[in-house]
Amino acid sequence: MDAVFLALILMLSIFLGFELISKVPATLHTPLMSGANAISGITIVGALISAGSGTDMLATILGAAAVMFATINVVGGYMVTNRMLSMFKKKDVDQSGGKS
């Protein structure tokens, strides 16, 4: 039953994902990709939990390494996405670069 429930969630999220992302304009595809990259860092939640119940040292090391790699993904992904998105400006806002 648990597996079926998880599969249901998977199915719904995939459809929702397709709906949402096919609406993102081509202009934003690179930030979308780096943003999605940051979201895939959600593995960090799994990393925090997965190694917890055991007392094995190797499991702890694996878990900690996974936390580190996933954090790179999360922090780096969100920051670079923010950096990129902040560069997208509308015409009337942008007066800085104009030469007289």
Residues 14-73 that bind another protein (CB under 8 A): 14, 16-18, 20-54, 56, 58-60, 62-73
Residue 13 near another protein by CB under 8 A:
yes
Helices (DSSP H) in the chain: which residue ranges?
A: 2-21, 29-40, 43-50, 57-71, 77-85
Output the smallest distance, CB 99 to another protein, in A.
7
Residue type, 8: L
Nearest to 62 by CA among 48, 41, 73, 75: 48
User: How many CB atoms neighbour CB 51 within 10 A?
Assistant: 20
Scanning residues 70 to 99, which ones bind another protein (CB under 8 A)? 70-91, 93-94, 96-99
Least distance from another protein to the Cβ atom of residue 59, Å: 4
Residue 89 exposed, middle or buried by CB count within 10 Å (0-12, 13-18, 19+): exposed
1 interacts with another protein by CB under 8 A: no
How many residues touch another protein (CB under 8 A)?
Answer: 85
Residue 64 CB, shortest distance to another protein, in Å, is 4
